[in-house]
Amino acid sequence: MKRERQKMLDGELYDPFDPELVAARIRARDLCQSLNATREGEQEERRRILRELVGVGGDTVWMQPPFFCDYGTNLELGERVFFNFNCVVLDVCKVSIGDYTLFGPAVQIYTPMHPFNAELRRKEEYGKPVSIGSDVWVGGGAIILPGVRIGSRAVIGAGSVVTRDVPDGVFAAGNPCRVIREITE
Protein backbone atom coordinates (compact mmCIF):
# COMPACT_ATOMS: atom_id res chain seq x y z
CA MET A 1 0.00 0.00 0.00
CA LYS A 2 1.30 3.46 -0.94
CA ARG A 3 2.22 5.97 1.72
CA GLU A 4 0.39 9.30 1.63
CA ARG A 5 3.50 11.11 0.34
CA GLN A 6 3.70 8.82 -2.69
CA LYS A 7 -0.01 9.25 -3.40
CA MET A 8 0.50 13.03 -3.22
CA LEU A 9 3.42 12.96 -5.66
CA ASP A 10 1.50 10.64 -8.02
CA GLY A 11 -1.44 13.08 -8.19
CA GLU A 12 -3.81 10.74 -6.35
CA LEU A 13 -6.14 11.60 -3.48
CA TYR A 14 -4.14 11.73 -0.25
CA ASP A 15 -4.55 12.77 3.38
CA PRO A 16 -2.81 16.15 3.90
CA PHE A 17 -2.97 15.57 7.67
CA ASP A 18 -0.69 12.54 7.46
CA PRO A 19 2.02 13.06 10.15
CA GLU A 20 4.89 12.61 7.65
CA LEU A 21 3.43 15.32 5.38
CA VAL A 22 2.69 17.66 8.29
CA ALA A 23 6.30 17.31 9.47
CA ALA A 24 7.62 17.98 5.96
CA ARG A 25 5.52 21.16 5.68
CA ILE A 26 6.71 22.35 9.09
CA ARG A 27 10.31 21.77 8.00
CA ALA A 28 9.80 23.78 4.79
CA ARG A 29 8.02 26.62 6.59
CA ASP A 30 10.77 26.83 9.19
CA LEU A 31 13.39 26.97 6.42
CA CYS A 32 11.38 29.64 4.57
CA GLN A 33 11.12 31.65 7.77
CA SER A 34 14.90 31.41 8.24
CA LEU A 35 15.49 32.39 4.60
CA ASN A 36 13.10 35.32 4.87
CA ALA A 37 14.87 36.57 8.00
CA THR A 38 18.26 36.83 6.27
CA ARG A 39 19.74 40.17 5.31
CA GLU A 40 21.26 41.04 1.92
CA GLY A 41 24.80 40.64 3.27
CA GLU A 42 24.09 37.05 4.34
CA GLN A 43 24.32 35.46 0.88
CA GLU A 44 26.22 32.40 2.12
CA GLU A 45 23.51 31.70 4.72
CA ARG A 46 20.80 32.09 2.07
CA ARG A 47 22.62 29.62 -0.19
CA ARG A 48 22.94 27.12 2.69
CA ILE A 49 19.20 27.35 3.42
CA LEU A 50 18.26 27.06 -0.26
CA ARG A 51 20.41 23.92 -0.64
CA GLU A 52 18.51 22.40 2.27
CA LEU A 53 15.07 23.61 1.14
CA VAL A 54 15.01 22.98 -2.61
CA GLY A 55 14.95 19.44 -4.03
CA VAL A 56 17.17 20.28 -7.04
CA GLY A 57 18.79 23.59 -7.96
CA GLY A 58 19.45 25.16 -4.58
CA ASP A 59 23.07 25.75 -5.57
CA THR A 60 22.29 28.29 -8.32
CA VAL A 61 18.79 29.64 -7.66
CA TRP A 62 18.66 33.40 -7.12
CA MET A 63 15.98 34.01 -4.51
CA GLN A 64 14.88 37.43 -3.31
CA PRO A 65 13.04 36.90 0.00
CA PRO A 66 10.37 36.66 1.10
CA PHE A 67 9.62 33.29 -0.47
CA PHE A 68 7.11 30.63 0.59
CA CYS A 69 6.54 26.99 -0.37
CA ASP A 70 4.76 23.90 0.96
CA TYR A 71 7.59 21.35 0.79
CA GLY A 72 10.51 22.68 -1.25
CA THR A 73 11.72 19.13 -1.90
CA ASN A 74 9.32 18.91 -4.86
CA LEU A 75 11.01 21.85 -6.63
CA GLU A 76 13.37 20.96 -9.49
CA LEU A 77 15.10 24.11 -10.66
CA GLY A 78 17.47 24.51 -13.58
CA GLU A 79 20.52 26.78 -13.64
CA ARG A 80 20.12 30.38 -12.41
CA VAL A 81 16.35 30.43 -11.89
CA PHE A 82 15.33 33.80 -10.38
CA PHE A 83 12.45 34.43 -7.97
CA ASN A 84 11.75 38.08 -7.16
CA PHE A 85 10.13 39.28 -3.91
CA ASN A 86 7.10 37.52 -2.42
CA CYS A 87 6.78 34.44 -4.64
CA VAL A 88 4.74 31.43 -3.50
CA VAL A 89 5.11 27.85 -4.77
CA LEU A 90 2.60 25.30 -3.47
CA ASP A 91 4.53 22.18 -4.42
CA VAL A 92 2.46 19.17 -3.38
CA CYS A 93 3.41 17.76 -6.79
CA LYS A 94 6.61 18.29 -8.73
CA VAL A 95 7.30 21.79 -10.02
CA SER A 96 10.04 21.68 -12.65
CA ILE A 97 11.54 24.92 -13.92
CA GLY A 98 14.14 25.17 -16.68
CA ASP A 99 17.40 27.10 -16.86
CA TYR A 100 17.46 30.91 -16.72
CA THR A 101 13.75 31.31 -16.02
CA LEU A 102 12.70 34.55 -14.31
CA PHE A 103 9.73 35.18 -12.00
CA GLY A 104 8.57 38.72 -11.24
CA PRO A 105 7.39 39.72 -7.78
CA ALA A 106 4.38 37.98 -6.24
CA VAL A 107 4.21 35.15 -8.79
CA GLN A 108 2.28 32.16 -7.48
CA ILE A 109 2.58 28.57 -8.68
CA TYR A 110 -0.08 26.12 -7.50
CA THR A 111 -0.09 22.32 -7.77
CA PRO A 112 -2.80 21.40 -5.16
CA MET A 113 -6.34 20.54 -6.20
CA HIS A 114 -9.42 19.86 -4.07
CA PRO A 115 -12.34 17.55 -4.86
CA PHE A 116 -15.66 19.17 -5.79
CA ASN A 117 -17.38 16.76 -3.41
CA ALA A 118 -17.50 18.66 -0.07
CA GLU A 119 -17.42 15.55 2.12
CA LEU A 120 -14.36 14.19 0.33
CA ARG A 121 -12.74 17.65 0.38
CA ARG A 122 -12.83 17.61 4.21
CA LYS A 123 -10.24 14.84 4.39
CA GLU A 124 -8.39 14.50 1.07
CA GLU A 125 -6.84 16.52 -1.72
CA TYR A 126 -4.71 15.83 -4.77
CA GLY A 127 -2.38 17.70 -7.08
CA LYS A 128 -1.15 18.11 -10.62
CA PRO A 129 2.50 18.89 -11.49
CA VAL A 130 3.59 22.13 -13.15
CA SER A 131 6.34 22.31 -15.77
CA ILE A 132 7.98 25.54 -16.92
CA GLY A 133 10.63 25.52 -19.64
CA SER A 134 13.95 27.33 -19.93
CA ASP A 135 14.38 31.05 -20.59
CA VAL A 136 10.79 31.83 -19.55
CA TRP A 137 9.86 35.21 -18.08
CA VAL A 138 6.76 35.27 -15.86
CA GLY A 139 5.59 38.81 -15.10
CA GLY A 140 4.76 40.02 -11.61
CA GLY A 141 1.55 38.86 -9.98
CA ALA A 142 0.94 36.00 -12.42
CA ILE A 143 -0.74 32.86 -11.12
CA ILE A 144 0.08 29.46 -12.63
CA LEU A 145 -2.57 26.82 -11.94
CA PRO A 146 -2.14 23.06 -11.37
CA GLY A 147 -1.23 20.86 -14.31
CA VAL A 148 0.00 23.67 -16.56
CA ARG A 149 3.01 23.41 -18.86
CA ILE A 150 4.71 26.61 -20.06
CA GLY A 151 7.07 26.13 -23.00
CA SER A 152 10.63 27.43 -23.26
CA ARG A 153 11.24 31.06 -24.24
CA ALA A 154 7.63 32.01 -23.45
CA VAL A 155 6.77 35.32 -21.80
CA ILE A 156 3.76 35.48 -19.47
CA GLY A 157 2.29 38.96 -18.95
CA ALA A 158 2.03 40.48 -15.49
CA GLY A 159 -1.15 39.61 -13.63
CA SER A 160 -2.02 36.69 -15.91
CA VAL A 161 -3.86 33.62 -14.67
CA VAL A 162 -2.39 30.66 -16.55
CA THR A 163 -5.14 28.02 -16.71
CA ARG A 164 -3.84 25.91 -19.62
CA ASP A 165 -0.63 25.05 -21.43
CA VAL A 166 1.38 27.77 -23.18
CA PRO A 167 3.58 26.74 -26.17
CA ASP A 168 7.26 27.56 -26.69
CA GLY A 169 8.27 31.02 -27.87
CA VAL A 170 5.06 33.00 -27.41
CA PHE A 171 3.85 36.01 -25.46
CA ALA A 172 0.72 35.08 -23.50
CA ALA A 173 -1.31 37.24 -21.12
CA GLY A 174 -4.69 37.83 -19.55
CA ASN A 175 -7.25 36.16 -17.33
CA PRO A 176 -7.52 33.52 -18.47
CA CYS A 177 -4.08 33.67 -20.05
CA ARG A 178 -4.10 33.24 -23.83
CA VAL A 179 -1.47 33.45 -26.55
CA ILE A 180 -1.19 37.02 -27.87
CA ARG A 181 1.55 36.51 -30.45
CA GLU A 182 4.64 34.56 -31.37
CA ILE A 183 7.95 36.04 -30.20
CA THR A 184 9.98 36.75 -33.31
CA GLU A 185 12.70 39.16 -32.10
Domains in the chain: boundaries: 4-182
Superfamily, domain 4-182: Hexapeptide repeat proteins (2.160.10.10)
Catalytic-labelled residue, pool 25, 27, 114, 149 = 114
Which pLDDT does position 1 carry in this prediction?
83
Query: pLDDT per residue over 82-136, tens digit each?
Result: 999 999 999 999 999 999 999 999 999 999 999 999 999 999 999 999 999 999 9
Instruction: Look up the pTM and report it.
Output: 0.96
Query: pLDDT per residue over 42-89, tens digit each?
Result: 999 999 999 999 999 989 999 999 999 999 999 999 999 999 999 999
Which pLDDT does position 43 carry in this prediction?
95
CB 97 within 8 A of CB 83: no
Q: In b/e form, how buried is each residue of 25-50, taking b as 16+ CB within 10 angstroms? A: beebeebbebbeebeeeeeeebbebb
Catalytic status, residue 21: no
Given a cut of 90, whether residue 185 has pLDDT beyond it is no
Query: pLDDT per residue over 131-178, tens digit each?
Result: 999 999 999 999 999 999 999 999 999 999 999 999 999 999 999 999
